[in-house]
Structure 1
Amino acid sequence: MSKSTFGQLPAVTIRAADGAQATVTLYGGHLVSWQTSDGQERLFCSRASNLDGSRAIRGGVPVIFPQFGARGTGMRHGFARVATWQLEATGDADGAVFAQFVLHHTDLPEAIAAAWPFAFTLRLRVAVKAQALDLSLCVHNTGEQAFPFSAALHSYFAIDQLSQARVGGLQRVRYSDETPQDALQAEEFLQFADKLDRIYYQLPGALTLQSGASTLRLEQQGFTDAVVWNPGAQDAANLPDLADDEYPRFICIEPALIQPDLLAAGAEWTGRQHLEFV
């Protein structure tokens, strides 16, 4: 483990003996780089993103908590991605290295804490080895009253070309998008022509992302749903922290718990994701 910076942000970099590595900024507990042991960068980060703590980072893996998108009365996608986390532990086991980060409710700025007045501890664990990345997000209700929450890991995966990428494992899965009614995906593979923004509910198994000669396998537990998103040309042009030519270079596939879960006082919830190039 070494302390580093990403833009102007303090960060932590972990490196496995085989060369796999990951970098996480303390701002947002935000995974901003994942390199497999062959040296390839597997995550997308926009060159137009402000890396000074003035707004959420565009790219990598933002932590979404306690609200998904605008589905609530709080700030969009919640406060975890703009809060300052602490490094809690690092270590290694079976050739993999990990770093664990923690965010307590007492770490929040006063205005944010007042708007969501619940006691909690979040823990994010990042582990890398060879061609694999393991992520876990644990939510612990440390207070005396239950609270509702949603959560997601808003992963931006680097791809060769959007029009040639495809996502498998979603056939016959129910999804919602900007149309009024839910639908079932008919196609074996999801492909991209332009903007796409879908929430897939109750995933039955693993997903795959094929881009060029590489295939990424995505497995999740605890997270019941998945969000697949790319802004397309028109929406990308309206995002100030995304360069106009960048949208064909990433796909977001996010393990998510969309419908708010009610976490009892003293209870814990954990969502996990295992990513591996096969």
Structure 2
Amino acid sequence: MAGEKPSVELCKGVNGLDKVVLRDALGSSAEVYLFGGHVTSWRTDHREELLFVSNKAIFKPPKAIRGGIPICFPQFSSHGNLEQHGFARNKFWSIDSDPPPFPSDSSSKTFVDLILKPTDDDFKIWPHRFLSFSQQFLLLVCHFVSCFLFFFFCFLIMLDSFLLQVASTCVNKYLIFYYSYEFRLRVALGLGGDLMLTSRIRNTNADGKPFSFTFAYHTYFSVSDISEVRVEGLETLDYLDNLKERERFTEQGDAITFESGVDKIYLSTPTKIAIIDHEKKRTFVLRKDGLPDAVVWNPWDRKAKAMPDFGDDEYKHMLCVEAAAIEKPITLKPGEEWKGRLELSAVPSSYCSGQLDPRKVLQG
């Protein structure tokens, strides 16, 4: 309610999972689960929920939560060797009580900083790992011993081969691999109840090797009826159609409306996109930075019935429009940092009457 003091509270959520509840002075709120660094709620000062979370969502790790804003990292969808949408949404994050200076253009005091720290299991599923100095030194010693034995004791060639095999096994089995990234996330409530997410990913490799990743804020918006929704700002753009083996097409000049399932990756998109809900007389304005692509997804009836954590008819009341970096993976050299920012606003539909005026929304 209006007049409340801004607050950040750590408490228990579904199934006893830790979550952080943000509340601003005007009554807007957001909830973030530490499991997945996952925003599951964003409410207006009138307590109206703006994000969709399935009634069948499974709040039981390691299963990702269906709805809200899952974070897809270091892989979007199934386009790679990792599990669907990577592992960030399936990991437990920690509250970062003493983060480094966080660049932001907002004066919001209602925020939480999270950090995703590598676990011992991460190197098994993501190949961006490296040997520590001691491990490299051990391999170098083994190499010189091998050369010495080869040149001066030819009859020990068989033993030489065995020695190398044993050394390699020891390095991989008993010595620690140090993971190569640092992922920091700030979730904040801005003026007017805007929701802001800022991700910072840094390459912390010590061996000089870069790594690449794809990324998306997989945002599920709550809508009145998918047939009453249109998306503006993506007209005439090229897109990859995931329902047609990622074949490339060009969008028509009209706003995007929905009569069947959709799974498209729009390329080189503007920094602002509008999602207009005619029945609720509400427009979501999505602003993004560092995220050139945008995904539009709705499973429709057949796929909805095939998902155990999604209601058969819930597709009618949700739409995913996701700020993303997919077509051209982000590559970071050691010490480099990437930042991807998403800002969501909900405004009355009078803000967009008739055809959307780009000067008022998409550029304003």
Report TM bin, short chain: over 0.9
In structure 2, the residue matched to 1:270 is 339
Change (3 A) 1:90 1:132: farther
Give the deviation of 1:95 after TM superposition.
Answer: 5.3
Gaps of 5+ in 2: 1-7, 100-105, 130-178, 348-364
1:235 maps to a residue whose letter is: K
Q: Which has the higher contact order (CA 8 A, sep 6+)?
A: 1
Q: Percent identity?
A: 35
Runs (4+) off by over 4 Å: 93-96
TM-score (normalizing by structure 1): 0.94
**Separation (CA, whole Å) in 1 of partners of 2:217 and 2:107:** 25
Structure 1 vs Structure 2 CA RMSD: 1.7
In structure 2, the residue matched to 1:193 is 259
**Aligned to 2:57, which of 36, 49, 63?**
49
In structure 2, the residue matched to 1:215 is 283
Give the deviation of 1:188 after TM superposition.
Answer: 2.6
**Separation (CA, whole Å) in 1 of partners of 2:98 and 2:60:** 25
Alignment of 1:1-278 (within 5 A): 1-8=8-15, 9-89=17-97, 94=107, 96-105=109-118, 108=119, 110-116=120-126, 117=129, 118-129=179-190, 130-144=192-206, 145-177=209-241, 178-179=243-244, 181-211=247-277, 212-258=280-326, 259-278=328-347
**Separation (CA, whole Å) in 1 of partners of 2:187 and 2:340:** 12
**Separation (CA, whole Å) in 2 of partners of 1:18 and 1:125:** 20
Give the deviation of 1:52 after TM superposition.
Answer: 2.0
Which is higher, the Rg of structure 1 or of structure 2?
2
Give the conservation status (yes or no) of the 8 Å contact 2:115–2:184: yes
Cα deviation code 1:76-133 (max 9, x no counterpart): 1111000110011499x7455111110122xx2x333322234111111111132311
Give the deviation of 1:71 after TM superposition.
Answer: 1.1
**Separation (CA, whole Å) in 2 of partners of 1:101 and 1:95:** 16
Give the conservation status (yes or no) of the 8 Å contact 1:17–1:95: no
Give the conservation status (yes or no) of the 8 Å contact 1:5–1:25: no
Q: Identify the structure with the greater strand proportion.
A: 1
Give the conservation status (yes or no) of the 8 Å contact 2:62–2:91: no
TM-score (normalizing by structure 2): 0.72
Cα deviation code 1:160-179 (max 9, x no counterpart): 00111110001111111133
2:320 maps to a residue whose letter is: C
Q: Identify the structure with the greater helix proportion.
A: 2
Give the deviation of 1:54 after TM superposition.
Answer: 3.6
**Separation (CA, whole Å) in 2 of partners of 1:120 and 1:94:** 28
**Separation (CA, whole Å) in 2 of partners of 1:236 and 1:183:** 25
Give the conservation status (yes or no) of the 8 Å contact 1:226–1:253: yes
Give the conservation status (yes or no) of the 8 Å contact 1:170–1:203: yes
2:112 maps to a residue whose letter is: A
Give the deviation of 1:74 after TM superposition.
Answer: 1.3
Classify the secondary structure of the residue corresponding to 1:191.
coil
